Amino acid sequence: MKKLIQKKLLWLIPILFISCAHTTTQESYQRMYAKIFNGGEYVADDIKPDLGENGFVVEGTLVNRPNNLIVVFEYTPENLTFIDSARTDSAGYFRMQKVLGNEQICYIQFGERLGFPTALNNQSKMKLRIKTVQGGVSYLLEGTHIESAQQIKKLTELNSGYLYKLNTLQRQVMGYDKNVTTKEQLNNARLSMAAMEGERQKAIIAEMNAAEPSAAPYFVLKFLLQEPDYKTINQAYLKCKKYDEQMAYTQILKSWSETEKTTAIGSPAPEISQKTPQGKVLKLSSLKGKVVLIDFWASWCRPCMISMPRLKNTYAKYKDKGFEIYGVSLDRDSSKWANTIIAQKLIWKQVSDLKYWSNAAAKKYSVHGIPATFLIDQDGNIAGKNLHGPALELKIEELLAKKKN
């Protein structure tokens, strides 16, 4: 029989805001997904080598889904990489066994939109009972050497509860709830949504910190939190280090923590020295003494352009009070960059090295999605990250008032 040979898939990470990120396309992902889980040519190999006690074992029942393809992928921010597959028998039973190089965050997939994250290592012996329920998946998990998997299950269930509430509020904000129609009601929904998102992140971080060491903190930072700060990243690193210092995820978090430390709140803003559209070098440090918003953007980034009207309003409101914007473009076409600045009337400071995602400043500030902003105080220290709308203006006013006093 033919074995599932698709090696890589994209995974769409649910996000609560829109940004341009350095990833592959959603369309490609959707085509591959449909092909694997709807195409009859993809079946699991029924001839499995006897690995004895070696490697992980995942077995269990997929309730009411006989002859159903089930696949284990390695789960990364960029893609899903094939590990193993099986088909359920007439009673829904399945079994998979494979030797891994090291512990891996995984995704168990059994339908075009059905699956859940977990974790496996070469000692994991996992038993599952999986059911599809309205709006998602429910599963029972037991076994040995599955500490990371158990924590990931608890964390994703916690996250799902908050996402359900956030989706309800988002419907109100978007005008889909007939009982929420007035300007005041819509504004209250927006405020409630922001508060709920803050509560979600705090609850997940608290759960991560309270749990025993495992690989789960890596999963939290990569897939459940948006723009985690240095403190949270370092906490996750120390948890994983205590669990397994040599684990790949520990090393990733170590590097991330070291990088993030350079742009942590309160740290001196790393210097940026790039050219304006007119070809003159403009250093970030030349603006010391003002409150400065570093705005990473690009002419090709639609979310960036959508955010410009509000940014122009903020600039007009504070530019004569000691506030400046230092735009760093990830463009690579100098004409498009310069023409967009003129057409959109972006009258604040603008620089670029025209190196796209390889922009030196973007690398220095660990920017992987745009728009991305860093608010710098009058002393040249980082005072805020990715603040928008009222939150940004409140922080600007706080910094301006603080200097006066």
Check residue 165 and give its pLDDT. Answer: 92
Per residue in 115-144, pLDDT (tens digit) is 999 999 999 999 999 999 886 899 999 999
Judged against a pLDDT cut of 90, whether residue 355 lies above it is answered with: yes
pLDDT of residue 403: 67
Residue range 371-377: mean pLDDT, rounded: 96
- When the pLDDT of each residue in the chain is averaged and rounded to a whole number, the result is 87
E strand segments, 243-358: 273-275, 281-283, 291-297, 323-329, 349-351
Domains of the chain: 8-145 (2.60.40.2190), 154-261 (no CATH), 273-404 (3.40.30.10)
| 220 has a pLDDT exceeding 90 | yes
* Distance set, CA 54 to CA 89, 97, 137, 293, 311 (Å): 24, 8, 29, 54, 57
Instruction: Assign 191 a pLDDT band (cuts: 50, 70, 90).
Output: confident
Contact 153, 117 (CB under 8 A): no
Give the 3-state secondary structure of residue 387: coil
pLDDT at 54 over 90: no
Tokens of 5: 């040979």
**8-state DSSP, 221:** I
What pLDDT does residue 21 have? 55
- pLDDT for 20 beyond 80: no
pLDDT of residue 40: 53
Task: Quote the CA–CA distance of 380 and 390 in Å, as a whole number.
Answer: 22
Band of the pLDDT at 45, cuts 50, 70, 90? Answer: low
- The tokens describing 374, both together, are 């860093």
The yes-or-no verdict on residue 292 having pLDDT over 70 is: yes
Nearest Cα neighbor of 90 from 129, 48, 62 is: 62
Q: Which residue has the higher pLDDT, 340 or 193?
A: 340
- Greater confidence, 269 or 16? 269
**Residue 186, exposed/middle/buried by CB under 10 A (0-12, 13-18, 19+)?**
middle
Model pLDDT, residue 295: 98
Top-confidence residue, 191 or 62: 62
To which H or E segment does residue 90 belong? Answer: none
- Those residues with Cβ within 8 angstroms of residue 342's Cβ, 6 or more apart along the chain or in another chain: none
Least confident of 141-150, 199-208, 234-243, 260-269: 260-269
Mean pLDDT throughout 22-29? 42
pLDDT, one tens digit per residue, over 225-257 is 977 888 999 999 999 999 999 999 999 999 999
Distance of CA 366 to the CA centre of its chain: 13
Residue 383 tokens read as 């005072």
Sign of CA pseudo-dihedral 199, 202, 203, 204: positive
- Can you give the pLDDT at residue 11? 31
Instruction: Please give the single-letter amino acid code of residue 337.
Output: W
Range from 27-41, 233-247, 328-342, 356-370 carrying the lowest mean pLDDT: 27-41
Q: Alpha-carbon distance 357 to 368, whole Å?
A: 8
Which contacts qualify for 128-133: CB closer than 8 Å, 24 or more apart?
128/58, 128/59, 128/60, 128/61, 129/60, 129/61, 129/63, 130/60, 130/61, 130/62, 130/63, 131/63, 131/64, 132/63, 132/64, 132/65
Residue 177 has pLDDT above 90, yes or no: no
For the ranges 16-20, 110-114, 384-388, which has the lowest average pLDDT?
16-20
At 145, give phi and psi (nearest 5°): 55, 45
pLDDT value for 175: 86
Rounded Cα–Cα distance for residues 298 and 304 (Å): 7
Region 310-337: what's the mean pLDDT?
Answer: 96
Distance of alpha carbon 315 from alpha carbon 324, whole angstroms: 7
Residue 339 reports pLDDT greater than 80: yes
What percent of the chain stands above pLDDT 70?
86
Structure tokens at 358: 């390889």
- For residue 319, give the DSSP letter: G
Per the listing, tokens 């948006």 go with: 226
Q: In this predicted structure, what is the pLDDT of residue 28?
A: 46
